[in-house]
A and B are shown apart, each in its own frame.
Chain A
Amino acid sequence: MRIDWWTLSLQTINAVVLIWLLAYFLFKPVANVIAERKAAAGRLLDEAEQAKSDAQAARENEQATLAEMAERRSAALNAAKQEAEAQREALLATARAEAERMREEARAELARQATLGLEAQMKHASALAVGMTKRLVDRFPQSSLVSGFIAGLAAAAAALPPEAKADFEQDGDARLKAPRPLTAQEEADCRHALEIGFGRPVAFSVEIDPSVIAGLELENRHATVHNSLRADLARMAAALDGHDAE
């Protein structure tokens, strides 16, 4: 076997040159484009990851915003409910106060109406009693309208306190009210009875007053000695008023 050294040398050089040229024209460009693609894919993955992170952050932000809005809405609703409740309570309180006031006014009006009615009834009853009494008295003899009350006048005068008696004695302006004109005898009896009641003579003038109905009433500017059916009816009416008032 014989080795051709020229060929061996040339083929060695050829191999080295081919290695160098293929490295430049083939392997290096292809390896570079593979590396570029890997880098681009890495960048795309990074960008996708970043976009995903951004989207996640945006979604979380949106959820936080929605939660905040829901919280604000809930707070606003609660505030509106509380305000409405307060207004309702205020309106109810005002309505209750108004109703109470109206009820009190109604009660007062009812009481006033009842009082007025009672007074009217009492007046009517008094008028009726006076009328009945007058009718009854008209059936009595006229003499009894005065003479029957003379003793009572003396007793009433005797029952006066000393100051009242002194006032009648000193005033000299006493009036003796009678339902009809007195006869001379009746006037004389009255003077005598008053003298007995006061213990001394009392000057008076006779005054006709049909409202007395029956009886005699002695009065001056300060006091009155009641001794008549009118005074009795008035006392009865007053007693009835006091009884109703209770």
Chain B
Amino acid sequence: MISSPLELEIAFHIGPVPIAKPVATTWALMGFLIVGSALATRRLALRPGIVQAFLELIVDTLDSQVRDTMRVDPRPYRALFGTLFLFILLANWSAVIPGVEPPTARLETDAALALVVFVATIYHGLRTQGLWGYLKTFAEPSLFMVPLNLVEQITRTFSLFVRLFGNVMSGVFVVGIVLSLAGLLVPIPLMALDLLTGAVQAYIFATLAMVFTGAAVAPEKDAAPGSDGARHGSD
């Protein structure tokens, strides 16, 4: 149970670096995701099994979502948004494991994810439109919007991670309070609600990341919804 949502518990130190519990949990989740992915994609075939079909469903749905939202070829963005969604989903759902504190219930984790989205937005904007083209997007629809657009870059990033932090932290906090007051089985409905909330928040975070990045990149003509934007080659 979390004593305070704003207090960090240090699990151990690596030299002078304090390793907080969310970081350790994140490493565990990363290990689970990476090992699981490596095992699941070890023997991919043209005739898919159940696991491969499920993975392909995830990737195909993700590509469709990117195409529908950003109107671009999903290949450069697939790993970013897919990882954000899977990690946040898994982190949120880790709350159901007794004794595990969701990393997304900590402000630093959500801020780090939002920081990655912020940097990725700038990177893809510069990559696709160049410096001048990217800077021009701040003057749209008119030059007077430049200050507001600059502020928006910061505020929407804050709203992105504060929304995730608030929803997950509040869920965990409520469950902890109810558990301390009512006993063992009472928080179960609230935990089930947390599962739904965690999935919705993961989807919202990933979708907003797509929207922010899509606003920074130029839409491609050959990536209309429903078209096959995937091309052979390395991502």
Tell whether A22 pairs with B108 under 8 Å between CB atoms, given A14-B30, A15-B113.
no
B23's partner among A14, A19, A26 (CB-CB below 8 A) is A14
Q: Are A33 and B22 in contact (CB under 8 A)?
A: no
- Could you say which of B39-47, B142-150, B195-203, B210-218 contacts chain A? B39-47
Any A CB within 8 A of the CB of B227: no
Q: Are A4 and B8 in contact (CB under 8 A)?
A: yes
Instruction: Please report which residues of chain A, range 29-56, place their CB below 8 angstroms from some CB of chain B when the two chains form the complex.
Output: 29-40
Q: Are A34 and B23 in contact (CB under 8 A)?
A: no
Q: Are B30 and A21 in contact (CB under 8 A)?
A: yes
B112's partner among A2, A12, A26, A27 (CB-CB below 8 A) is A12
Nearest CB of A to B77, in Å: 10
Q: Which residues in B have their C-beta under 8 angstroms from that of A15?
A: 83-84, 87, 112-113, 116
Count B interface residues, CB 8 Å: 53
Q: Which residues in A have their C-beta under 8 angstroms from that of B55?
A: 26, 30
Any A CB within 8 A of the CB of B106: yes
Q: Which residues in A have their C-beta under 8 angstroms from that of B193?
A: none
Q: Which residues in A have their C-beta under 8 angstroms from that of B30?
A: 14, 17-18, 21
* Chain B residue at smallest Cβ distance from A20: B79
Q: Which residues in B have their C-beta under 8 angstroms from that of A30?
A: 41, 44, 52, 55-56, 58-59
Q: Are B112 and A11 in contact (CB under 8 A)?
A: yes
Q: Are A8 and B37 in contact (CB under 8 A)?
A: no
Q: Which residues in A have their C-beta under 8 angstroms from that of B113?
A: 11, 15
Q: Are A11 and B235 in contact (CB under 8 A)?
A: no
Any A CB within 8 A of the CB of B220: no
Q: Are B112 and A8 in contact (CB under 8 A)?
A: yes
Q: Are B26 and A14 in contact (CB under 8 A)?
A: yes
Q: Which residues in B have their C-beta under 8 angstroms from that of A19?
A: 79-80, 83-84, 116
B59's partner among A16, A18, A31 (CB-CB below 8 A) is A31
Tell whether A4 pairs with B20 under 8 Å between CB atoms, given A18-B87, A33-B46.
yes
CA distance A31 to B19 in the complex (A): 35
Interface code A1-15, partner B: CB below 8 Å = 1, 0 otherwise? 111101111111011
Q: Are A27 and B116 in contact (CB under 8 A)?
A: no
Q: Which residues in B have their C-beta under 8 angstroms from that of A6?
A: 17-18, 20
Interface code B110-124, partner A: CB below 8 Å = 1, 0 otherwise? 011101100000000
Q: Are A27 and B235 in contact (CB under 8 A)?
A: yes
**What are 18 contact pairs spanning A and B, CB under 8 A?**
A7-B22, A7-B23, A9-B112, A11-B26, A14-B30, A15-B84, A15-B112, A18-B87, A21-B37, A25-B34, A26-B33, A26-B40, A27-B235, A28-B79, A31-B59, A32-B44, A33-B52, A34-B59
Closest 10 CB pairs of A and B: A23-B79, A11-B112, A26-B37, A7-B108, A12-B112, A25-B37, A29-B41, A8-B108, A33-B44, A19-B83
- Apart from the given pairs A22-B33, A22-B34, A27-B235, 16 other A-B contacts in the complex at a CB distance below 8 Å: A1-B107, A7-B106, A10-B19, A11-B26, A11-B103, A14-B26, A15-B116, A19-B83, A20-B79, A22-B82, A30-B52, A30-B55, A30-B58, A31-B78, A31-B235, A34-B59
